[in-house]
Amino acid sequence: MVQANSGADIAVVGLGVMGRNLAANLADHGAVVAGYDLDADRRAAFAAAVPGAVPCAAPEDVLSVLKTPRVILMMVPAGPAVDALLAILLPGLAAGDVVIDGGNSHYDDTRRRARLTAESGIHFVGLGVSGGEEGARHGPALMAGGTVEGIERVAPLLRAIAARAGDGEPCFARIGPDGAGHFVKMIHNGIEYADMQLIAEGYHLLRHLGGFSYEQLADRFAAWNGGELASYLMEITADILRTSDPETGAPILEVIRDAAGQKGTGHWATTTAMQLGMPAPTIAEAVHARCLSALKDERVRAAAAFPAPPAPAVADPDAFAAGVGDALLCGRIAIYAQGFAVIAAGSRQFGWDVDLAAVASVWRGGCIIRARLVDRILDALRRAPDLPNLMFDPAITALLAEGEAGWRRTVGAAVAAGQPVPAMASALAYWDGYRSERLWANMIQAQRDFFGAHGYERTDRPGMAHTQWVR
């Protein structure tokens, strides 16, 4: 518990939904919270909602109301706004002060800002915050990147407001230096994109191939949420499927336009994986799927111009649903395997020494991707911290083996019916590719050598070789 005394313990700059709710959460745990926002209405809402709030009329004012060393939590949009705010605050800060960026900043920006502030002895913490509005108010998952000293100074505050896992442990950890926290939050969001896409495909197949009513779908997803598929996203999917539009009385999904938006973190996760040379095809497909969904007008024209093949009748809806459940679980395993592999690659690339088990521990509560599978992953990483891929864990391998046949049937049925399942299919291709002793890449290497003399590695001796190709 943080004890309040003279002066504010922390200032929150940026009092939108996330900032205001984090401020209220901090106040609930005994912190005296100062706050500033450009918007006067937001400042008023902060003063009304946060016990003991210390509203400030200008960003510079927060410096005078804080205890020393000062702690400032920035909750402003990622990008130029963070740099602009830093430029205002830095002249008034002193060595030992801590500035926390709780937005979805790109990890490279966080690394740059950490170097900049370090020149003055100021600690910059890149804090990944997951859980949305509810999490911010009642307990988010918090992934911190920064110096040990800087994070230790703010750890009591962050531990106090973090979500609690089933064993009571706070869902907060120092992930590593500089941009490590925002890197892990970026991959968290990539996994979130992919799992949402996977679930959406499952719903769509059951609705349009299986013939399930919305009530039946809600019951099915609620039942899945009681087993291995249990997750926050499954829970809210069941709730969505039970919701009716208050204006028309129709199921809410019947009045929501099928064109999804995005804010960029999925794109960052995809491009970062590519830069690191790590396959994350399902995260990439989830981003592409949203882009495809946005082409609504073109899709309407194409649907009329290029009819899909007739959908084969589903003889046994319950068996079909069981296969969809297998595809959801196995696909989720593949998604998390891709994400953790990218985190490990980033850790190696940037010298962060990220503890993957600590990442899994943080993701057990508060965050959008909390799921029963995360507990399985934590057990796996505690047993074998150096797993090259989560799918090597015997318990996880057993889940894949049990669900593989249904996964394949589901993807096959979707393809036969002309129903796109980019997440399910790419996850299956990842699994099949990862466990293939011999792939098709010898042909690609031969082609590259043919047209570009790039060379190739031989199977019978080390080193590069080149063939004088004859047409």
Contact 9, 67 (CB under 8 A): yes
C-alpha distances in Å from residue 380, one per residue of 384, 388, 394, 397, 445: 6, 12, 8, 11, 36
Backbone angles phi, psi at 244, to 5 degrees: -105, 150
Active site residues: 185, 192
Phi-psi region of 78 (alpha: psi -120 to 50; beta: other; left: phi over 0): beta
SS3 35: strand
Q: Hey, what are 225's tokens? A: 């949420």
Q: Are 36 and 7 in contact (CB under 8 A)?
A: no
- Sign of the Cα torsion 104, 109, 111, 116 reads negative
Q: Is 391 helix (H, G, I), strand (E, B) or coil?
A: helix
Q: What are phi and psi of 213, to 5 degrees?
A: -75, 165
Q: How far apart are the C-alpha atoms of 199 and 48, rounded to whole Å?
A: 39
- Tell me which residue of 146, 183, 144 sits closest to 161, measured CA to CA: 144
Pairing of strands 456-457, 464-465: antiparallel
| Of residues 347, 212, 217, the one with CA closest to residue 278 | 347
User: Which token pair is 235?
Assistant: 């829970």
Counts of helices then strands in the chain (DSSP H, E): 19, 10
Prior bond of 422 cis (ω within 30°): no
> CA-CA distance, 175 to 267, in Å (whole number)?
22
Specify the length of the chain in residues. 471
